[in-house]
Structure 1
Amino acid sequence: MAVPHISTQFGDLLDPRFQKIFYEQYDQLPDMVDDLFSKTNHNGRADMRWSQVGAFGDWSEFTGTVAYDSVNQGYDTTATYLEFVSGCQVERKLFDDDQFNIMDKRPQGLAIAANRTRQKHAARVLNNMGSVDSYFYVNSENVALVSDSHTTNAPGVSTTVGFDNKVTSALSATALSAARIQGQKFRDDRGNLLAVNFDELWIPIDLYDQAWEIVNSSGKLDTANNNKNVHEGKYKIKTWNYLTDSNDWSLHDSTMRKMSLHWVDRVPMEFKMAEDIDTLVAKWRGYMRYSMAWTDWRFIVGAVVS
């Protein structure tokens, strides 16, 4: 479609015989940014930076003097704000003669598109959980959010157990149990066990039926035995249309996630309008600037299904 919008392109909008013109008459998908991320206030600078500080070790028996401990420097995360824009132009004559005020609603259409853009960007953190994604941020550990090879800066700590948050099994009751057990063995940077409480199951729309059965059935699935289902009522199912892989899923500790996933609006969504004095073309433009990042991987066990 040519730019700007002119009357010869939209004859129907000028014809009063049309009783109704349908303009984006559909429900919008829910905004999941607030569900997934913690909203963090920007710092007024060009980027946002986080740094980790490690844990203390166990206490030792007192034998006459205090054994002083120290913590280790953890990994750094730097998020860079990116700018996103869109706009539209409308000929003055088309705006004046539009019988249905459709062109007057163009800013609403830009807002719908802006929200869709934000959802797609927010979903990157799960859609790309099995790979290093540096579009918005860089983490100095330099491994994927979901990985079987997470590391630590603490000297002498084995990462053989408790540093793997990646699974590859398709969603099933058995796979969910295995993921929960694996996640409850997570360790901090010193190799100490962590208190992880998984309470959310994030899935694409393709897995909803299966996830619902796993979480809501009172008995074990696909068996004649009347054993109780350990997953019943255990997890809140979070379905998101913008999760693009029909097989991947993830198990979250929602409290820990809010401390680990950050969304920062440097400039919230804004709109401006002006009319060109010579051409009589009205211009609307929208602008937003934001970033996001994860700073700790221990809130999630992710299934990158092979």
Structure 2
Amino acid sequence: MAIMRSEAWAELLEPILFDVFTNHTAKLPDYRSKIFNVLSSKKAVETALGRGSIGMMQEWTSTGRKVHYDEIQKGFKVVFEHKKYSNGIEIDRDLVDDDQYDEIISMAQDLSFSAYYTQQYHAASVFNNAFDTGHLGGDGKPLCAVDHPLVPGGTVTIKNAGDYDLTADNLEKVRTEIAGWTDDRGNIIPSNFDTLLVPPALRKAALVIADSDKEPETDKNNVNIWKGRVQVIEWPMLTDPTVWFFIDSQRAKRDLIWWNRRVPKLERDTPAFDFDTEVA
């Protein structure tokens, strides 16, 4: 967003700057949309209510030859309270009079990057704070914990945190642990963990696991069971060089939500609109 002094010349600059702001970061990778389910919101607050699992279908004759209706236990409630962010630049009339258009465009590019970076930073914070007990989810646990309760008051928990280096053997160990997850009814939870999310320091280790023809880290001539089964996402915004995440991308797209209350856009100060307070 930008303040421009003088209505007439500001109108002349507006189409150029709006185009620069919109397109400057358009080709930069949006890691948020690769992992999150990006939705639009028209409310000040969004809520989501988790739920327990649904059981298996029942045999027709065992239910009196009528439809069996299941009772699903209520889950944890999560509240999404939207926050508002802003940034601005002032473009002085003298820059126009002195034909400093390159500097003006550069300022608009910087503002575009500010909007892009802010969104990527906050999206990455979900993972940067994954083990932080100061950032708790609806179940009262951080994103990664050894004792996630599945439903309020339930005794079944799952562990989705560990202290493992990123190796092929450890990835298999994690896969085995995940395969043992059960829901609140004790049934196996079907899953397809297919994505490795890593910081730059673990990019090489992840790609060796995901792309090697033969089994990595061994002199045996075994096939690499991970080749073609996992995609690697290297996210520069991840701050811990040793922490990696194994993700079921389909479930992430369903349950890991990013709300857009307002998509960042360039706005201009006008006599009818007070830019600083957004009061018309």
Name which of 236, 243, 263 aligns with 2:238: 243
Give distance in 1, aligned partners of 2:28 and 2:236: 8
Match of residue 86 from structure 2: 85
Give the Å deviation of 1:96. Answer: 1.7
Percent identity for Structure 1 against Structure 2: 27
How far 1:272 sits from its partner (Å)?
A: 1.9
Contact in 2 for aligned 1:132/1:145 (Cα 8 Å): no
Whole-angstrom distance in 1 between the partners of 2:73 and 2:212: 45
Q: Given the two structures, how large is their TM-score scaled by the length of structure 2? A: 0.79
The answer to whether the 8 A contact 1:271-1:284 is kept is: no
Q: Secondary structure at the match of 1:30?
A: coil
SS in 1 for 2:30: coil
Bigger proportion of residues as helix? 2
C-alpha separation between the residues in 2 aligned to 1:64 and 1:266? 46
State the SS of the aligned residue for 1:35.
helix
Question: 1:215-255: CA deviations, max 9, x gaps?
Answer: 11122223222122211221011111111111110111111
Aligned residue among 116, 141, 144 for 1:143: 141
1:218 touches 1:232 (CA, 8 Å); kept in 2? yes
Give the 3-state SS of the residue equivalent to 2:250 in structure 1: helix
**SS of the residue aligned with 1:75?**
strand
User: Helix, strand or coil for the counterpart of 1:49?
Assistant: strand
Question: What amino acid does structure 1 have at the position aligned with 2:226?
Answer: H
Segments of structure 2 that go 5 or more residues without pairing to the other structure are: 5-23
| Corresponding position of 2:130 | 129
Give how far 1:48 is off. 0.7
Q: Quick check: 1:89–1:284 contact (8 Å CA) kept in 2?
A: no
Change (3 A) 1:222 1:32: closer
CA contact 1:54–1:73 (8 Å) conserved in 2: yes
Count of matched residue positions in the alignment of Structure 1 and Structure 2: 252
Mapped partners of 1:268, 1:80: distance in 2 = 16
Partner of 1:46: 44
- Gap regions ≥5 residues in structure 1: 6-24, 277-282, 288-306
Give me the whole-angstrom Cα distance separating, in 2, the residues matched to 1:98 and 1:68.
73
Let me know the Cα RMSD of the aligned residues. 3.1
The CA deviation string for residues 39-60 of structure 1, in whole angstroms up to 9 with x for no partner, is: 2231x32111000222233566
Q: Separation in 2 of the partners of 1:156 and 1:248?
A: 29
Relative to the length of structure 1, the TM-score reads 0.73
Rounded to whole Å, the distance in 2 between the matches of 1:97 and 1:36 is 46
* Structure 1 residue 175, shift from structure 2 partner: 0.9
Kindly state the Cα deviation for residue 267 of structure 1 after the two structures are TM-superposed: 1.2
For residue 247 of structure 1, what is the amino acid of its counterpart? T
Q: Deviations over 1:74-122 (max 9, x none)?
A: 0111111111111112332233214453124423321111101110011
CA contact (8 A) 1:203 1:240 kept: yes
Amino acid aligned to 1:220: E
SS at match of 2:86: strand
SS in 1 for 2:265: strand
8 Å Cα contact 2:156/2:183 also seen in 1: no
